[in-house]
Amino acid sequence: MKEILRYSGCFVCGEKNERGLKAKFFYDGSQAFTDVVADETFEGYKSIFHGGITATLLDEVMIKALLARDTFAVTAEMTVRFHAPIQTGDAIRFSGWMTKQKGRIFYTEGTAVGGDGRKFASANGTYVEAKQGLREHLLTSID
């Protein structure tokens, strides 16, 4: 298992972003994952973790599954299905993996699951591998 590359200023994984989530992502050879406790700082309604933050974490974990394979890509499309509200204080595992590739297009799936196995959200993503100029720019972000 290895920790996946990150950018220190990133809202999701950046340790220097004061307003960010500071999530650490790991890769086990087949999927990326991070464990997050739903902080009340990011609630939408009282004691409920904001759905937009859940979607953000799903996007990040799916693209981290590609980055772990040294593929630099950007999000083209993402669909999220919310199964149940996440309560603030809940410990959630976000997992993402690649399902297939067609040329420069990568398809992924992801889930947000509680410690008891309850699925809170699932997602499908489509990512496009960055062309050389954009790839070089993205590489300047990596710590």
The CATH class of 2-139 is alpha beta
* Span 89-99, average pLDDT: 98
**Confidence band for 140, pLDDT divided at 50, 70 and 90:** confident
CA nearest neighbour of 61 among 130, 6, 128: 6
> Model pTM?
0.94
* 106 or 137, greater pLDDT: 106
What is the predicted pLDDT for the residue at 138? 75
